[in-house]
Structure 1
Amino acid sequence: MDHDYFGSVDFMFFGGLLLLSSLIGIFSACQGKNEQTTENYYFGNRRMSPIPVGLSLGVSFISAVTVIGGPVESYLFGAVLSWMSVGFAIGLAFTSVYFVPLVYRLNISSIYEYLEMRFDRRVRVFCSSLTVLQMVFYMGVCIYVPALALSAVTPLEMKWTIILTSLVCTFYTSLGGFKAVVWTDSLQAAIMFIGSLALCIQGTILVGGSSKVWNAAIRGGRLNVFKVSFDPTVRISILHCIIGQSVMTMALTCSNQAMVQRIMSCRSQTIARRALFFCLVPVSVISTLAVGNGLVMYAYYENCDPLLSHIINKPDQMIPKMMTKAFFEVPGLAGIFVAAACSGTLSTVSSGINSLSVVIVEDFATLLKKSLSPKQKLWGGRLCGAFLGCLVTLIAFIAGSLGSTVIQIASSLIGGFGGPIFGIFVSGIFIPRTTAKGALVGLTVSTIMSLWVISGSAVYKGNPAKQNYLNRSISNCSIDVTLPPIDWNVTTLSPTFETTVNETIATHDERPLIADTLYSISYFYVCMFGAAVSIAVASFVSILSGPNNPKDIDPLLFVPLVDNKRLPAKIRKFFRFGVPEYEEYEHVAVKNDDLLLRTDVA
């Protein structure tokens, strides 16, 4: 296979990214050699500034899934995807108001410590286990995506691109710890922006200018930014992007160790809130560029859809295919874009490995040996990082055989595991009557139901009538002789995209009712579904088995929905749902201790 169009300049840009990331890891390790503590390795001594932390949060949200998968969603379903930025903003506002004060007053290392304080150890270990599963599979998908792009434009086979990406990421994360992760994230945020912008500009030039892109988008119905639907089985609409994405953002920032670890690395609540606000900048900019690249890609493929014409077999090969044409005569740009996709992966995987190391050491290793020294925890975290890097590499090889776009796969993973966990956090923080037994049953039932829905969706592919694929054409397909032939099957483990020229849609009689209802729920709502089931079942079981007395709940573990001191005392008391103020709780605790002491003396 001839890959001359990925030249020495492209390799220089791509190799430079990997080299710089590795050097940052080495520099962070050398700089912190006199501070070999778990606080420094996992939290940067909790003295990080808001801008690098905000950039790190942002690129962890984005990942290569957005850089390559986002344009595909926009190409297939239109610009309505741009409303996701509003969902991000709402979710981050929720986290800033309700969650940041909670984690700062508790000063914990693993966010799942809260669940043991509020419920019991069983709930903590269960949630930690689900998080490990969720993040390992999600990181595997993230590694697969840039490997797909890289193997399409370089002589490297996919297996070697996966191994190379995983190796570099695991190396600098395990060696440099949290500071290496945050500072490489800042570098990678800049590269992701430059790469996405380069594709947008060069792609626009390729199709003949911005007016050609705009007119093609109008003809193809891609400017559907005001598409509204209240039907949860419709794949995408404004409400899906705003409501569904806001809940996914809440779940990620409130109950995922990778995100919470960044929040807790700041000096104070104020700085953590600034970091969350700043996080919205890279998320919004790069997400908007992804939608724009989808419109550019439609203008390029308007009369010859590569999926319907069988030029490619997977929708996520569309960006690499267009990239080889757009950057053919501009040395270096292909390398920059591949580096951008790879940057998203390095960011997501490095933060995931670092945070899961905390979870494994704090939530599992301490169960086996309670008296672990700081040095043992530090080296245990590094060994966990190396092991997780190998495991994620294995998952990346499997990811190519999954039958959906990467955006759908990633969102389903977040929803299937993250939704139930988020529901338990909501129950613990806002609903004082929820018991440990209720939380455990709610978490179990909601996880089973969420995975059941995801599995059913994978089998039946959703309701064909409500997927709302926009019009595509093969009316002007011709063989492109300007480029060396590309064997796209090299990057494909199986032809999984279900839409072809002679698309066959199962009739209503051939599909069970549940396939067009519950199994067809939009991937935007999977997280909300899991959280809702978790909260409902936990509350119901708590009522049946005997709810908590709110007066016995530690106020430090509770967050009232409304707690503005300017409001009347009666309103504030109502929203505490019976949980006393901290001063009242301390007074009652002192009286009870005094009573127990006098009883013992008597």
Structure 2
Amino acid sequence: MSSSETGEVASFTVVDYIVFSLVLVISAIIGIYYGFKDGGQQTTQTFLMGDRSMRFVPVGFSLLASWMSAIALLGTPAECYSFGTEFWVVVFSYPLMTMISAHCYVPVFYRLRLTSVYEYLELRFSIWVRVIGTSAFIIYMVMYMSVVLYAPALALNAVTGLSLYGSIAGIGLVCTFYTSLGGLKAVIWTDVFQSCIMFVGLLTIVIQAAVALDGFGNIWEINKQNGRINTWDFSVDPRNRHTVWNLIIGGTFTWLGTYGCNQASVQRYLSCPTLKDAQMSLYINLPLITILISLTMMCGLVIFAVYADCDPIKAGYITSADQLLPYYVMDKLGFINGLAGIFVAAIFSGALSTVSSGLNSLAAVTLEDVIKPIQRSKNTRFLSDTKATLVTKVLACAYGIMAICLAFAASKLGPVLQVALSLLGVVGGPLLGVFSLGLFFPCSNKWGGLVGLLSGFAMCIWISVGTYFNPPTNPALPTSTEGCYETQNVTYTTWQPITLTDTIVTEEPDPVFADLYHVSYIWYSAIGCLTVVIIGLITSFITGRTDPKDVNPKLISPVVETVCCCIPESFKKYARCGVEYDYEEGGEDYLSDEYHDDQKHPNGKLEFHEDNV
């Protein structure tokens, strides 16, 4: 019997605990294996870059696991249950993001062979732009990891009754262990394993539900009758939470900030042996991320079809929409020994993969953008490679502990999906903007980069703080409790999605600013990016724009050469905005250029090798 009939759900069995424990043990074993293979992680190139020998298939899976983890597994079904199928349109932003990232951003970072992507900001603009970009990434990544740690702990707490905070600590410690021991290779291969677990868990839920409810067509019809099939909203009002336009356009900006210029992603591209491998990893990721989001949306449709007459949230069986999927698994599938264990293992796998990626990238950024610049400024001798590797391992451990501590506060933020995407927009948007300013606008100068980046952060913070104190009204779609167990004895509460601001009520601001504060969170990244580019260009022209002839062509995106390969050379010259490329177009010399840290001029300019490899 289900909870609507008895008010109770099944609990974890011994088999579930065994299945769940096996996933954690296998993840740890992978870390131990790469921690000791071939003498262990003795160099920074091995620990941080995987010896630049990873192929595109595992890297593609790793990209998926890094950004579509427990947040997607818990938040997307909750989104579908509460608001319908609107969010599904976001999958149309993924092909755009993939093509732009693969051909406009990745080639520059790969050919420069930088360990930290934020070093580009110093090479293109100034040390201050690099410092601000690095600091923003560190703050953002630690906060993001804390949300990711909280999400699976919430799931485990809902289905097993184990301590929420004990679960957070357990996830964080296991992840920190194998990341600090096995380095990037361990992270990538555990990502592959954990991605497979996620797919197995979701497919099992969807297939079993389709069988139990006489086919997925019946599930779709129940949702349609209750107004949940509302995919195509073509409204152009930016205040609407989800529309076709903001999910495709705004979603493209949001995920470009993640896949195009985020350290965790770029570090994976740079672990590939060739540029083609790096680009192919994105194209492998494209169908994987589309299938994963579709499966999670289908899980949301399944949950609503099952609970159409008894909303577990209103009935008081659970306290948060993010608990819907684990609650459904225990309520309807708990009779299958081991299935709940597989599901919780899938949730944990998603969290482990994301946090491990974050720890590895944070260690790389701190070494390259904090420790080495400090040593350079003091004219002190750099750490030996062995000592530097040890430092990165200690840094990974320290960041893991920090994320665990901050995860204890994540429960106060709201629905995990919206919180995560909001963070991506507020921080990722301005960073995407400053990288785009440098890559696509040769006339921009250091002052444009600095003022533009600060303006982008100021704009996004202003909107997010204004939204905190003046939350938009986004009521969930109606639900019913008519079929609940002992409905006459239940005290119901009307649930609405928690935003970052639900508990604070203030007087209405000026209508103009109220409209700004009520702009959909999915636009944050686009707003931040465009603010940086526009203000950066204006500032550059006011302070004296850079002569494109003086810009090292290796720092400018080769998008003109890629997109305009068949057009006349005269038009190419015009499209290059005056940048004088000193390489044979499309030739191997450009593809094989390598930047080495010890080849930087005192004035910050670059020297390059022209050796073919």
In the superposition, the TM-score normalised over structure 2's length comes to 0.88
The reply on whether 1:123 has 2:145 as its aligned counterpart is no
Deviations along 1:248-285, one digit per CA (max 9) or x if unpaired, are 12111222100000011101011111111101132111
Aligned to 1:535: 533
Rounded Cα–Cα distance in structure 2 between residues aligned with 1:201 and 1:512: 51
Specify the alignment match of 1:42 in structure 2. 48
Residue 477 of structure 2 is matched in structure 1 by 470
> Displacement of 1:584 after TM fit?
10
- Give yes or no for the alignment of 1:392 onto 2:395: no
Name the CA distance, whole Å, in 2 between partners of 1:155 and 1:310. 16
- One-letter identity of the residue aligned with 1:327: L
Distance 1:81 1:444, change over 3 A: same
2: CA distance, partners of 1:34 / 1:510: 60
The CA deviation at 1:232 is 1.2
Equivalent pairs, count:
568
Distance of 2:388 and 2:226 partners within structure 1:
56
In structure 2, what is the Cα distance between the partners aligned to 1:212 and 1:383?
53
* Correspondence 1:446 to 2:453: no
Structure 1 range deviating more: 377-386 or 306-315: 306-315
Letter in 2 for 1:100: V
The answer for the alignment partner of 1:459 in structure 2 is 469
Aligned to 1:415: 425
Change (3 A) 1:40 1:505: closer
**What does 1:212-251 correspond to in 2, within 5 Å?**
212-251=218-257
Taking the TM superposition and a 5 Å limit, the aligned residue runs for 1:509-588 are: 510=508, 512-514=510-512, 516-563=514-561, 564-583=564-583
Q: Counterpart in 1 of 2:311?
A: 305
Residue number in structure 2 paired with 1:166? 172
Whether the 8 Å CA contact 1:213–1:295 is kept in 2: the answer is yes
Aligned residue in 2 for 1:592: none
3-state SS of 1:274 partner: helix
Question: How far apart are the structure 2 equivalents of 1:32 and 1:452?
Answer: 51
**Contact (CA 8 Å) 2:108, 2:558: kept in 1 or not?**
no
AA partner of residue 393 (structure 2): R
Q: Compare 134-143 and 471-480 and name the one that shifted more.
A: 471-480
Q: Which residue of 2 aligns with 1:189?
A: 195
Gaps of 5+ in 1: 481-488, 490-494, 587-602
Q: Would the alpha carbon gap of residues 35 and 350 (structure 1) be closer, same or farther in structure 2, given more than 3 Å must change? A: closer
SS of residue paired to 1:230:
coil
C-alpha distance in 2 between matches for 1:522 and 1:153 = 33
User: Residues 58 and 279 of structure 1 are in contact (CA less than 8 Å); yes or no, is this contact kept in structure 2?
Assistant: yes
Supply the distance in 2 between the matched residues of 1:394 and 1:208 (Cα, whole angstroms). Answer: 46
Specify the SS of the correspondent of 1:241.
helix
**CA-CA distance at 1:311 after TM superposition:** 3.5
Query: What whole-Å deviation, never above 9, does each CA across 1:516-546 have from its counterpart, x for those lacking one?
Result: 4111111211111111111111111111111
Partner of 2:109: 103
Report the TM-score when normalising by structure 1. 0.89
Matched position secondary structure for 2:313: coil
What is the aligned partner in structure 1 of residue 601 from structure 2? Answer: none
Q: Which residue of 2 aligns with 1:273?
A: 279
Change in Cα spacing, 1:35 to 1:308, as seen in structure 2 (3 Å) is closer
Tell me, yes or no, if the aligned pair for 1:556 and 1:582 is still in contact at 8 Å: no
Q: Give the Cα separation in 2 of the matches to 1:506 and 1:393.
A: 31
Alignment of 1:251-270 (within 5 A): 251-270=257-276
Matched, 1:72 2:75: no
Asked if the contact 2:10–2:334 (Cα under 8 Å) also holds between the matched residues in 1, the reply is no
Residue number in structure 1 paired with 2:88: 82
Q: Deviations over 1:78-104 (max 9, x none)?
A: 223222222112101101111222122
Residue aligned with 1:109, SS:
coil
Could you tell me the percent identity over the aligned residues? 36
2:434 counterpart (414, 417, 424)? 424
Q: Equivalents in 1 of 2:147, 2:275: separation in Å?
A: 33
Q: Which moved more, 1:199-208 or 1:19-28?
A: 199-208
Give the conservation status (yes or no) of the 8 Å contact 1:61–1:283: no
Between 123-132 and 470-479, report the one with greater CA deviation. Answer: 470-479
Distance (Å, rounded) in 2 between the aligned partners of 1:119 and 1:516: 35
State the superposition RMSD in angstroms.
Answer: 2.7
Distance 1:35 1:174 in 2: 10
Whether the 8 Å contact between 1:83 and 1:238 is mirrored in structure 2 is yes
After superposition, the C-alpha distances for 1:321-345 in whole angstroms (9 at most, x for unaligned) are 2222122211111111111111111
Amino acid at match of 1:390: I
| Contact 2:430–2:528, Cα closer than 8 Å, also in 1 | yes
**Cα contact 1:37–1:374 (8 A) shared by 2:** yes
Decide whether the 8 Å contact of 1:67 with 1:341 is kept in 2.
Answer: yes
Shift of 1:497: 4.3
Distance in 1 (CA, whole Å) between partners of 2:584 and 2:198 is 51
